[in-house]
């Protein structure tokens, strides 16, 4: 068991996501991000399968054919598109992706950047989150509008860098989120 190493890795990741969320004005999400990783059902599995170069969920999945920690995690964290799967109200469509609120898409983007930095350390480049996303091929598992926004941010990061992408989020997406929230309150 690699308890200390896993604790340091997830805490460093959480700090990077918190810093990114704070920089765009998503304070509550920054504070609450990935708290479930400290629960025994996720933490102990992570410590057992810790490698330091990728998610321990991958090693658990390779051994068991599934990841109990991931199944727990995705069901409790709204910044994962897998959280947003639901049955269709139309007969015969089965399980379909629901559109994620933009604030969670932004958190998902920041989460992917932080994970890439955390695992790649000094070798990190701004195209890594996009390449990792493409290797996972979420395809029909993500709502079309959610996918479009996430891909827009990942391509912007790869082509124009983190500073410009975060500025775009602050100036264009966050005001839109605030306007939507204000309308809900009225």
**Residue 97 β-bridge partners:** 85
Q: What is the mean pLDDT of residues 116-145?
A: 91
25 three-state secondary structure = coil
Task: Provide the 10 A C-beta neighbour count for residue 174.
Answer: 17
**Cα dihedral sign, 34-39-45-49:** positive
Region of 118 (left: φ > 0; alpha: ψ -120 to 50; beta: rest) is: alpha
Q: What's the pTM value of the predicted model, to 2 decimals? A: 0.90
- Residue 155's Cβ-count burial label (10 Å; 0-12, 13-18, 19+) is middle
pLDDT digits 0-9 by tens, 62-84: 999 999 999 999 999 999 999 99
Kindly state the helix (H) or strand (E) to which residue 97 belongs, with its residue range.
strand 95-97
Instruction: Please answer whether residues 80 and 73 qualify as being in contact, where contact means their C-beta atoms are separated by less than 8 angstroms.
Output: yes
Q: Quote the percentage of the chain above a pLDDT of 70.
A: 97
Task: Provide the 10 A C-beta neighbour count for residue 79.
Answer: 25
Enter the tokens of residue 168.
């775009």
pLDDT digits 0-9 by tens, 21-41: 999 999 999 999 999 999 999
DSSP 95: E
Enter the tokens of residue 46.
């992570």
Provide the CB-side half-sphere exposure for 143 (13 A, CA). Answer: 19
Q: How are beta strands 95-97 and 85-87 bridged, if at all?
A: antiparallel
pLDDT of amino acid 185: 58
């Amino acid at each position: 068991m690699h308890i200390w190493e896993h604790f340091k890795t997830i805490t460093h990741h959480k700090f990077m996501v918190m810093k990114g969320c704070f920089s765009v004005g998503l304070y509550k999400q920054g504070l609450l991000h990935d708290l479930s990783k400290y629960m025994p059902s996720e933490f102990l599995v992570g410590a057992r399968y810790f490698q330091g170069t990728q998610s321990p969920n991958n090693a658990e999945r390779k051994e068991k054919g599934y990841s109990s920690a991931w199944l727990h995690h995705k069901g409790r964290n709204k910044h994962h598109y897998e959280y947003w799967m639901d049955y269709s109200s139309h007969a015969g469509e089965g399980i379909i992706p629901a559109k994620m609120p933009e604030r969670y898409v932004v958190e998902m983007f920041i989460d992917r950047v932080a994970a890439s930095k955390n695992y790649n350390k000094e070798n990190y480049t701004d195209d890594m989150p996009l390449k990792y996303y493409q290797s996972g091929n979420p395809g029909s598992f993500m709502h079309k509008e959610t996918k479009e926004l996430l891909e827009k941010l990942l391509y912007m990061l790869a082509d124009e860098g983190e500073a410009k992408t975060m500025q775009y989020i602050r100036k264009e997406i966050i005001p839109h989120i605030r306007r939507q929230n204000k309308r809900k309150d009225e």
